[in-house]
Amino acid sequence: MSAVGQSASRAAQPILPRGLIKTKNRHHTRRITNLAMLGMTAAFTLFAAIPLIWVTVYTVMTGAKYINVEFFTELPASVLQGGGGVSNAIAGTIIITLIAMTISIPLGILAAYYVAEKPNTRLGLVVRFATDVLAGVPSIIIGLFAYGILVKPLGTFSALAGGVAISIIMLPTIVRSTEEMLKLVPRALREGSLALGAPDWRTSLVVLLPAALAGVVTGIMLAIARGVGETAPLLFTILGNDHYSVRQIVQSGVESGMTPIQILRELVLSPTDALTLTMYRYSQDPFPERVQQAWAIALVVMVFVLGVNILTRALTARRLAGRS
Amino acid sequence: MKENTASDKPAAAAAFRKRSSRFQLLTQHGDVFWRGLIAVTAIFVLVLVLAIGWTTWRDSALSREVFGLSFVLPTADASWNPVTDTYDAWPLIAGTIVTSVFAILIAAPFSIFIAIFLSELCPMWLRTPANFVIEMLAAIPSVVLGLWGIFVFLPSVVVPVGHFLENTLGFLPLFQGPIPASGSSRLAAVLILTIMIIPTITALTRDVLRAIPDSQREAALALGSTRWETIWQVLIPASLSGIFGAVILGLGRALGETMAVTMVIGNNTVEASGSLLRPGATLASTIANQFAEAVSPMHSSALIELGLILFVITLLLNMAARLLVYQVQKKVPTEARA
């Protein structure tokens, strides 16, 4: 037996050992390639974390040096005087965000109902596609759009135009997240409500919406964070306004006997400012104090945007953990 | 039975009741209005996209009439001159394409590797923080990144890298110096864009990879593949069209990115050289930089036409990318999605 085996292996020797050696080498190269490439994926991931950490840490450290109470409460002072704050921009950002919310939240939720309920109809598919496309439209073009439909016809830069532009930016996020959340609501819940005789709209608003509410709110918060961080569409819709102050507008309105609606009109239809816009303007400013204030604004915006993101993530994680 | 015995009058009343109850069924519950309402809002989203295109088309009429097609065609003596009111978009289109394409060339391999790590190799405990980092990177507002770019990134990274490229590869027209002392250059825009689109491409590629059923991985490993071979020879080919879609979406984002690019690119609309180390301008950066100050109707019309060009390009790219990504999602067997 062994003789036969030996002779067989001897006969095969000219081919086999070479093949064996080759396989052994190949085995090594394969192992090394494997380790090298896997290591590279990890290294690249680490590398991607650098800019995030760098930006965050630098912004927090620099911004913290220049932030103070005046920063939040005062209007901008002249550069020669020094000091002053950005209360105009804070008020403007709040007003613009409120306008954007009043437009995009109802529209976004209603459109999401349609897309969630009729996902495979032709219109449902087209609208879903349009939502995705809208999310990809560069924000500066949305600014041009708001300029074309509001600033030009009204003849004035206004918080309204800025709010409308931001609402268009928030809309796709709200539609898509609400749609996903509505689809997660168990079918039985919906059927139960319909079986009890509740019409579709009541089922949607009183049963489905509360069931999906946590997720819907999460989506809205993320959309707001995105809207607050936006700058490009505000450049030529709100223009910037160093003197924008809600208190002053309301006061002078009351003194001159305007109705509340007129005062509201004044608030919404006058040029205003925004934190991100001020940051952009100040970053181009030759005066170091302006640049310092730009860093302080960057800190505020970063804390808000990253804070909302972290908060929603934590809430979602807890909700998912609680469910399972 | 009852209806048979009843006289004409009650029959008519019953018919009327039947008719009105059908009407009530439709209206009283309010469902007709509800369905109408949600359909109208859904259509509104669609109309919005069309309206954006239509508005930019309408408002750029003046520039389109005067300059015609030569506005977008390559010319040797391109100018962007608000004083003489002559405008050519070609250098800006070229600037946009050059910065975005170079950003994609750097970001795509990076993102694919990161996505591989996140979906295939990352240990469970690291998964949440690693995904968190990528998503936070996407959440940083563009203007903050621009501010950091001007005061931190340009002096500490872009200028040294620029000098290095100038000294080693300066003989190529692409890396002809000198780089401005501030560092504001196309290179700066490329690097900032790279940082901004890595999260986009990574997240989508990761999802595409995750959608591949585990049976594919197990089969490849059982046949004796190493993990890398499994990834490179099985998973990547299977998800290629999805990855392609992700890269195109990243390109779309890079093309339209405004604030950070405007802040670091130097906004030089007349720079003739194609060098990466020289300041330049993109479509979006020119609109952002000049629109609020545009006085002549021709100037603002030309700027809006830049917006129109950008809109058309990003629209086409987005549609192509979405269709690719949808296709992948449709192809994936249900087993994998659960």
- Helix H, strand E, coil C: the string for A109-127 is HHHHHHHHHCCCCHHHHHH
Tell whether A292 lies on the interface with B, counting CB pairs under 8 A: no
The pLDDT of residue B326 = 75
Task: With respect to residue B64, please indicate whether it lies within any of the assigned structural domains.
Answer: no
CATH number at residue B194: 1.10.3720.10
Contact predicate A215/A181, CB 8 Å: yes
CA distance A15 to A26: 16
Cis previous bond, B199, omega within 30:
no
Question: Which of chain A's residues have a Cβ under 8 Å away from the Cβ of B110?
Answer: 44, 47-48
Task: With respect to residue B65, please indicate whether it lies within any of the assigned structural domains.
Answer: no
Task: Determine whether the interchain pair A279/B202 forms a contact, defined as Cβ–Cβ distance below 8 Å.
Answer: no
Question: Which of chain A's residues have a Cβ under 8 Å away from the Cβ of B204?
Answer: none
Tell me which H or E stretch contains B114: helix B90-116
The pLDDT of residue B128 = 86
From A62, A96, A83, A79, select the one nearest A281 (Cα to Cα). Answer: A79
CA distance B12 to B28: 22
Token pair recorded at residue A254: 């009351």
The model carries a pTM of 0.88
Is residue B174 domain-shared with residue B246, that is, in the same domain? Answer: yes
Task: Determine whether the interchain pair A201/B30 forms a contact, defined as Cβ–Cβ distance below 8 Å.
Answer: yes
Task: With respect to residue B34, please indicate whether it lies within any of the assigned structural domains.
Answer: yes
ipTM: 0.88
Name the H helices within chain A.
Answer: 2-12, 16-66, 69-73, 87-117, 122-136, 139-146, 152-154, 159-184, 187-195, 200-202, 209-229, 246-255, 260-269, 275-283, 288-323
The pLDDT of residue A24 = 61
B 213-232 residues inside an 8 A Cβ radius of A: 226-229, 231-232
The pLDDT of residue B334 = 43
Token pair recorded at residue A67: 């932030």
- Which of B121, B135, B136 is nearest residue A38 as measured by Cβ atoms? B121
* CATH number given to A84-323: 1.10.3720.10
Tell whether B151 lies on the interface with A, counting CB pairs under 8 A: yes
B 273-302 residues inside an 8 A Cβ radius of A: 284, 287-288, 291-292
Token pair recorded at residue A3: 């003789």
CA distance B68 to B87: 11
The band of B2, judged by pLDDT with boundaries at 50, 70 and 90, is very low
The pLDDT of residue A323 = 56
pLDDT tens digits for range B84-132:
888 989 889 999 999 999 999 999 999 999 999 999 998 889 988 888 8
Mean pLDDT of chain B: 88
The pLDDT of residue A127 = 92
pLDDT tens digits for range B229-264:
999 999 999 899 889 999 999 999 999 999 999 999
The pLDDT of residue B7 = 52
Question: Which of chain A's residues have a Cβ under 8 Å away from the Cβ of B252?
Answer: 136
Is residue B17 domain-shared with residue B83, that is, in the same domain? Answer: no
Contact predicate B197/B299, CB 8 Å: no
The band of B73, judged by pLDDT with boundaries at 50, 70 and 90, is confident
Mean pLDDT of B30-45: 90
Is residue B25 domain-shared with residue B136, that is, in the same domain? Answer: no
Predicted confidence (pLDDT) at residue B178 exceeds the cutoff of 80: yes
Is residue B333 domain-shared with residue B207, that is, in the same domain? Answer: yes
Q: Mapping DSSP to helix (H, G, I), strand (E, B) and coil, where does residue A272 land? A: strand
Contact predicate A186/A203, CB 8 Å: no
Is residue B171 domain-shared with residue B313, that is, in the same domain? Answer: yes
Is residue B45 domain-shared with residue B167, that is, in the same domain? Answer: no
Residues of chain A with pLDDT under 50: 1-20, 324
CA distance B32 to A204: 14
Cα of A321 to nearest chain B Cα, Å: 14
Task: With respect to residue B58, please indicate whether it lies within any of the assigned structural domains.
Answer: no
Task: Determine whether the interchain pair B318/A131 forms a contact, defined as Cβ–Cβ distance below 8 Å.
Answer: no
CA distance A320 to A318: 5
pLDDT tens digits for range A148-179:
999 999 999 999 999 999 999 999 999 999 99
Task: Determine whether the interchain pair B291/A294 forms a contact, defined as Cβ–Cβ distance below 8 Å.
Answer: no
Domain boundary among B12, B35, B51: B51
Domain boundaries, chain A: 2-44, 84-323
From B239, B208, B112, B103, select the one nearest A37 (Cα to Cα). Answer: B112
- Which of A30, A52, A114 is nearest residue B39 as measured by Cβ atoms? A114
A 205-224 residues inside an 8 A Cβ radius of B: none
Contact predicate A137/B315, CB 8 Å: yes
CA distance B163 to B120: 38
The pLDDT of residue A227 = 95
Q: How many domains are there within chain B? A: 2
CA distance B110 to B199: 10
Best residue in A32, A35, A141 for a mutation probing chain B (most B CBs within 10 Å): A141
The pLDDT of residue A318 = 79
CA distance A139 to A162: 12
Task: Determine whether the interchain pair A140/B284 forms a contact, defined as Cβ–Cβ distance below 8 Å.
Answer: yes
The pLDDT of residue B28 = 59
Tell whether B316 lies on the interface with A, counting CB pairs under 8 A: no
CA distance B72 to A95: 39
The pLDDT of residue A317 = 79
The pLDDT of residue B21 = 67
What values do phi and psi take at B87, rounded to 5?
-135, 140
Tell whether B35 lies on the interface with A, counting CB pairs under 8 A: yes
The pLDDT of residue B171 = 87
Question: Which of chain A's residues have a Cβ under 8 Å away from the Cβ of B157?
Answer: none
The pLDDT of residue B70 = 86
Predicted confidence (pLDDT) at residue B226 exceeds the cutoff of 60: yes
Mean pLDDT of B285-313: 93
Task: Determine whether the interchain pair A123/B43 forms a contact, defined as Cβ–Cβ distance below 8 Å.
Answer: yes
Domain boundary among B12, B36, B51: B51
Task: Determine whether the interchain pair A37/B198 forms a contact, defined as Cβ–Cβ distance below 8 Å.
Answer: no
Task: With respect to residue B287, please indicate whether it lies within any of the assigned structural domains.
Answer: yes
Predicted confidence (pLDDT) at residue B332 exceeds the cutoff of 70: no
Task: Determine whether the interchain pair A230/B304 forms a contact, defined as Cβ–Cβ distance below 8 Å.
Answer: no
Is residue B123 domain-shared with residue B35, that is, in the same domain? Answer: no
Tell whether B92 lies on the interface with A, counting CB pairs under 8 A: no
What values do phi and psi take at A273, rounded to 5?
-130, 170
The pLDDT of residue B79 = 84
CA distance B307 to A141: 6
Task: Determine whether the interchain pair B263/A283 forms a contact, defined as Cβ–Cβ distance below 8 Å.
Answer: yes
Task: With respect to residue B289, please indicate whether it lies within any of the assigned structural domains.
Answer: yes
Predicted confidence (pLDDT) at residue B57 exceeds the cutoff of 90: yes
Tell whether A4 lies on the interface with B, counting CB pairs under 8 A: no
Task: With respect to residue B134, please indicate whether it lies within any of the assigned structural domains.
Answer: yes
Domain residues for the domain of B254 are 76-337
Tell whether B36 lies on the interface with A, counting CB pairs under 8 A: no
